[in-house]
Amino acid sequence: MTIQTVDGIIRGAYHFANPSSATGAQQADFFVSNGGGWSNDGKTLPGALDREWNPYGSMCFDMTQTQMRTWINDFVTQYRTRTGVNPMIYTASIWWNRCVSTDASAAGSNGTLPQTGTTQQAVVVKDSVLAQNPLWLARYSSSVGPLPTMWSSQNRKHAIWQNAALDAKGYDTNIFNGSLTQLRAYATTGKLRSPRERRPGLRSGAAHLRQDSRNVAGSFMK
């Protein structure tokens, strides 16, 4: 699969994953080999892993939180191995907090992190690594709302907000949390500086994105 190139459009691909059909690493390989890779051409965003409600059965694909975290981590690791960059993660806060868990859930009752060498600390470390992936948040509302706790507990912000399923022209609408210059830099370097690390004065408005067949290609594993 080749993503169609249109002058002036920054585009990317997403992978709607079905963890029941193959391992995370296998699906990352499928994604990269079918249009989901990244190149530093200034037009191609790193691919996105779509993790949300299961359309075929139970909400969390009959997986425990530990199993789901492991699956996602395997996908992210293999995608980074193949492309050199981290994928975005597309999700909704309700689904992620239910099916994947959070840093906060692994902390002690007083909010402190578990002792070194414990199973709980391993969960925290893995969650911290996953939260380094740029967040593409789905929330159809007038405000971004609460982020998945994995990101908010580390004071990270969303990268893209999908704020409506369909606009007047039939497109999903998305808002990049930064300027057009920053979006182009992301497409060029494959790395997105966390909004919590940006210096004051860098942001100059938001770049609005449309999600349609011209700038987003999908891969599916059923």
Three state DSSP letters for 32-72: HHHHHCCCCCCCECCCEEECCCCCCCCCCCCCCHHHHHHHH
At 187 the pLDDT is: 95
pLDDT tens-digit map of 99-114:
997 554 433 333 333 3
pLDDT over 60 at 171, yes or no? yes
Gap between the Cα atoms of 13 and 32, Å rounded: 10
Gap between the Cα atoms of 5 and 31, Å rounded: 18
**How many other C-beta atoms are found inside a 10 Å radius of the C-beta of residue 70?**
16
> Which secondary structure element, helix H or strand E, spans residue 73, and what is its range?
helix 65-83
Gap between the Cα atoms of 195 and 46, Å rounded: 17
pTM for this model (two decimals)? 0.78
pLDDT over 50 at 219, yes or no? no
pLDDT over 90 at 127, yes or no? no
Are the C-beta atoms of residues 112 and 102 closer than 8 Å to each other?
A: no
Residue 63: CA atoms inside 13 Å, Cβ hemisphere, count?
25
Gap between the Cα atoms of 126 and 103, Å rounded: 9
pLDDT over 70 at 161, yes or no? yes
pLDDT tens-digit map of 41-82:
999 999 999 999 999 899 999 999 999 999 999 999 999 999
Gap between the Cα atoms of 191 and 175, Å rounded: 18
At 103 the pLDDT is: 52
Structure tokens at 144: 């971004």
Identity (one letter) of the amino acid at 110? N
Residue carrying the six token digits 């995608």: 79
